[in-house]
Structure 1
């Protein structure tokens, strides 16, 4: 296999994993069309959070401290948006407070050009996100009416 074919296959594989292979964007938008408007807005909001997280990760990997700070600031601003408040539960509120604290620490480490500190805060931020999303998924089940849980 020639290097250019190998590179093309690798690029297509990466795009497919990201869901942007030919037809992937159209398929995702078709899935969104059937959802209620508030779910589509929340989905777009969560996609923005993911995009800003990727910006921070890219900044960490290439040592671009300005990109780290911009991404962390954007994440913090999302957490301060009313769309973020999807659950009044105290546990969810604590995850949000921790998220904001970690984005602020990430911004500070970026400004100080401390790659190790920024990386540690990014890892902790990621753990916080995964745990919060797990909590929200688990809570959605308990919010259902008992009849819907029967088989």
Structure 2
């Protein structure tokens, strides 16, 4: 029985080796078009809420970092008004607080930072809507809608 096992074993090792080698030689898959920054922000915020509910600090840190990356994205800044910049800066500070709380594994501090961040987000979107600031590229479904003409 040993005589039949060895060739089968070596055949399996050879197949795995060839499979690994050919997988490494494949050209990289084309990178999918990156989602609009506001869609990414929403996805990360939803995952932060999940992480808070589960007390999963690794997941929390990952998605807090994702929110921080959104703020740094060039498409984030859509307006130069003082009020918009205030909301944007507040959001960035709250995300930094969320990152710190995740690192320190402080659930209550992370929850408070998430609530503050969410309030700032809602206030900013309301401001953009109320001012009639129309959709700009890469805002996706979260873009503020302009008010109908009166």
Contact 2:102 2:110 in 1 (8 A): yes
Query: How big is the alpha-carbon RMSD for the aligned residues of Structure 1 and Structure 2?
Result: 2.2
With over 3 angstroms needed to count, the CA separation of the structure-2 counterparts of 1:96 and 1:51, relative to structure 1, is same
* Map of 1:149 onto structure 2: 149
2:96 counterpart (99, 104, 107)? 104
Q: CA deviation at 1:46?
A: 1.3
1:66 counterpart (40, 58, 68)? 58
Give the unaligned 5+ runs of structure 2: 1-32, 135-147
| Alignment TM-score, normalising by the size of structure 2 | 0.65
| Alignment TM-score, normalising by the size of structure 1 | 0.64
* Map of 1:139 onto structure 2: 131
Report 1:31-70 matches (<5 A).
Answer: 44-70=36-62
* Map of 2:81 onto structure 1: 89
* Map of 1:20 onto structure 2: none
- 1:129 aligns to 2:121 (yes or no): yes
Give the unaligned 5+ runs of structure 1: 1-40, 143-147
The structure whose Rg is larger is 2
* Map of 1:79 onto structure 2: 71
Give, in whole Å, the separation in 1 of the partners of 2:46 and 2:70: 15
* Map of 1:14 onto structure 2: none
DSSP-derived class of the 2:39 partner? helix
Q: CA deviation at 1:149?
A: 3.3
Q: CA deviation at 1:141?
A: 6.0
Give, in whole Å, the separation in 1 of the partners of 2:47 and 2:99: 13
Give, in whole Å, the separation in 2 of the partners of 1:105 and 1:124: 10
**How many residue pairs get matched?**
105
Give, in whole Å, the separation in 1 of the partners of 2:133 and 2:49: 32
Structure ranking higher in helix proportion: 1
Task: Report which structure shows greater RCO (CA 8 Å, sep ≥6).
Answer: 2
Give, in whole Å, the separation in 2 of the partners of 1:66 and 1:104: 16
Runs of 4 or more above 2 Å deviation: none
